[in-house]
Structure 1
Amino acid sequence: MLSTYKYYSKVFSFEKRSCEKYGFSFLPNFYSNQLYNIVSKYIEQKYLLFFMGQYRKERYLLKQKLKKYKFTILIYHNIFTYFIFKIFKFDEYKNVKMRDLVFKTMDRKEVYKNMLSSKYLLDDTDVNQEGLTQRVFDSLILEKKLITTNSNIKSYDFYDENNILIINRDNPIIAKEFLESEYKKIPEKIIKQYAIENWVKKLLEE
């Protein structure tokens, strides 16, 4: 991949370190218009915190450590590969229980509905990932407090410690004060910067 980027007029990355290292143009993710269109719909609170994501060893361990908070953390795993990995990745999978995984996929509409009906959102990036995930921008539109494992979020203009709690995945601590305080509204001008229209505009501008 890196051997071919010189043939392009411009290369973008959502990770600042890649931009600094290779001279790429920085372009963070964007929020979904579909989510923006349904944000005004009232849905009764169903979850304290909701998260749906693909299985990762570190993510599974984080879920176990957060169980005491009664959060709903759904980790998807393909059922066929689960049994294959149980055999060939025994050391990693020997303590991975089926009851702690979900094997049925959830469509985007259902994920959005569950996010709308939760009080807080969880964002868990891959261990070596620096760029922000889609979940961060979902939280902005939904005006939901976010709990994240990505400390790089501090460098963004919408970061507010009242709304965003950065946790250590090895020892996650959720402060009671964070959960109980009200969400601090972010200026619309800042949020609009992350609309897909602006993302496309930056992508195509000369």
Structure 2
Amino acid sequence: MAHKIRAISKRLPFASLHQFWIAEWQKRIDDFDTIVVFDNAATQKLLEFIKSRITKRTKLKIWLWNVPNERIEYLKENFDVYCFDQNYSKEYGLTFLEQFYILDSVNLDEKTDVLRDFYFVGADKGRIQQLDQLAGMIEESELTYQFDVFSDDKQSNRSGINYLDSKITYPEIIKKIQESKVIVEINKDGQVGLTLRALESLFFQKKLITNNVHIKNYDFYHPNNIMIWEHGNLKELEKLTNFLGEPYHQLPTTVTDRYSFRAWIKRING
């Protein structure tokens, strides 16, 4: 291959990651033209370790999947930093690069019965008030929902809001998404980048309710598939029912492929 790339995932604990580097990659480091380190794995110790062993030919890049990042000044002063969020990229002078999704581990051929209309999964992070209001709209419309919220503080008594004290596995989340008609996404204030929920809706052909108004700017946006929810607007109730009744608008594979990991690798290696 003319260009080889290696990505270090944030999902690995640093100790085992460092040992893996010593055991497997130290002897092969010259094989790679580009090395990408994901944010949660990007400890200063690991980055300096890699930096001390690569040649000038090898590019070391950092991918920010989570913002804000408390070490952003150190990262941008020493490395090429890429970020999924446009606002954060602009504020700190980073390179904006769209989010991606890896579909390889999911069996799309496996048929799953639809059990509910709406599904949310995520940490509280100040979302309960919005989730409670949306749940009320759903109940008033006589529709069904399940909101799995990671929180120790039970702030709503609605039957469809489940408070979890431990995380559930990603395959379990995917199963619940496949069992639902609509994925619910509530972004933090100021966040405009694509989240995992938005990409799941794209790849699993599920409808999406989101408070991210900037999603209209993406090529996969279609009003049949994506509803932008205005928290506190009582007129949203009728809009919610109509949205669920509209047929899903099929998108060409050229659009979906743009957000694949393969396409992302090509862009970050460009």
TM-score by length of 2: 0.64
* Correspondence 1:154 to 2:228: no
* Correspondence 1:67 to 2:135: yes
Q: CA deviation at 1:202?
A: 2.0
Q: CA deviation at 1:96?
A: 5.4
Contact 1:124-1:149 at 8 Å conserved across structures: yes
Aligned residue in 1 for 2:175: 113
Gaps of 5+ in 1: 83-92
Letter aligned with residue 185 of structure 2: D
2:266 to 196, 201, 206: 201
Q: CA deviation at 1:31?
A: 1.5
Q: CA deviation at 1:171?
A: 3.0
Structure with the larger helix share: 1
Contact 1:39-1:116 at 8 Å conserved across structures: no
For these two proteins, the number of residue pairs brought into alignment is: 188
Give the whole-Å Cα distance in 2 for the aligned partners of 1:40 and 1:135: 20
Q: CA deviation at 1:204?
A: 2.8
Letter aligned with residue 108 of structure 1: Y
Give the whole-Å Cα distance in 2 for the aligned partners of 1:56 and 1:202: 32
Aligned residue in 2 for 1:55: 124
Contact 2:100-2:199 at 8 Å conserved across structures: yes
Give the whole-Å Cα distance in 1 for the aligned partners of 2:255 and 2:109: 19
**Identity value in percent:** 25
Contact 2:185-2:197 at 8 Å conserved across structures: yes
Contact 2:132-2:156 at 8 Å conserved across structures: no
* Correspondence 1:18 to 2:92: no
Give the whole-Å Cα distance in 2 for the aligned partners of 1:200 and 1:163: 27
Aligned residue in 1 for 2:44: none
SS at structure 1 position matched to 2:259: coil
Letter aligned with residue 73 of structure 1: F
SS at structure 2 position matched to 1:185: coil
Question: Between Structure 1 and Structure 2, whose CA radius of gyration is higher?
Answer: 2
Give the whole-Å Cα distance in 2 for the aligned partners of 1:149 and 1:98: 21
Q: Any idea what the Cα deviations from partners look like across 1:148-181, whole Å, max 9, x if unmatched?
A: 0111111111111121000012336241221101
Contact 2:119-2:176 at 8 Å conserved across structures: yes
Letter aligned with residue 111 of structure 1: I
Q: CA deviation at 1:3?
A: 2.4
Letter aligned with residue 180 of structure 2: S
Q: Any idea what the Cα deviations from partners look like across 1:109-135, whole Å, max 9, x if unmatched?
A: 110000001111111111221211111
1:6 to 74, 77, 87: 77
Give the whole-Å Cα distance in 2 for the aligned partners of 1:102 and 1:47: 19
SS at structure 1 position matched to 2:216: helix
Give the whole-Å Cα distance in 2 for the aligned partners of 1:122 and 1:150: 11
Q: CA deviation at 1:67?
A: 1.9
Contact 1:47-1:118 at 8 Å conserved across structures: yes
SS at structure 2 position matched to 1:115: helix
Contact 1:13-1:19 at 8 Å conserved across structures: yes
Contact 1:39-1:141 at 8 Å conserved across structures: no
Q: CA deviation at 1:11?
A: 1.7
Q: Any idea what the Cα deviations from partners look like across 1:32-90, whole Å, max 9, x if unmatched?
A: 3246x322221001111111111122x1111211223142111112x4xx4xxxxxxxx
Q: How does 1:186-197 map to 2 (within 5 A)?
A: 186-197=251-262
